Amino acid sequence: MWATMDKSEIFDKIIWDYNVSGQEAELIFEGKKETFSLTREKLIARMLLSVQWYDLLDVFGAKEVKSFLSDDILSNIRFKDVRENFIYARAGLNER
């Protein structure tokens, strides 16, 4: 069985190109810190694109991952077909 990532590993993985630590990214995610270029919505969009789906579900739970699939967050994903895949996933989570 594969070991799942924890929150700090997720944040470290997705902010490699920002001058922000994993701890700062977690504060942005929690709404306790703001930066000019990295918002909570962008951070979550990066998680959706960079972290395996089942790791997100294990770390954050289905209810929170479902909240990650809001239109505000998905609008930060550049490619339409990728956005549509997440809309499809959102519909599947709504059925639970």
Domain limits at 87? 7-94
Residue 16 lies in a domain: yes
Q: Does any domain span residue 2?
A: no
Name the DSSP letter for residue 17: T
Q: How many domains does the chain have?
A: 1
d(CA 89, CA 3): 23
53 in a structural domain: yes
Write the pLDDT tens digit of every residue in 61-70.
Answer: 989 999 999 9
pLDDT of residue 94: 75
Record the pTM. 0.87
Is 73 domain-assigned? Answer: yes
1 assigned to some structural domain: no
Distance CA 36, CA 52 (A): 27
CA–CA distance, 89 with 9 (Å, rounded to integer)? 24
Residue 59 domain flag: yes
pLDDT, tens digit (0-9, with 9 covering 90-100), for 22-44: 899 999 999 999 888 899 999 99
Q: Check whether 5 has a pLDDT greater than 80.
A: no
Residue 32: inside a domain, yes or no?
A: yes
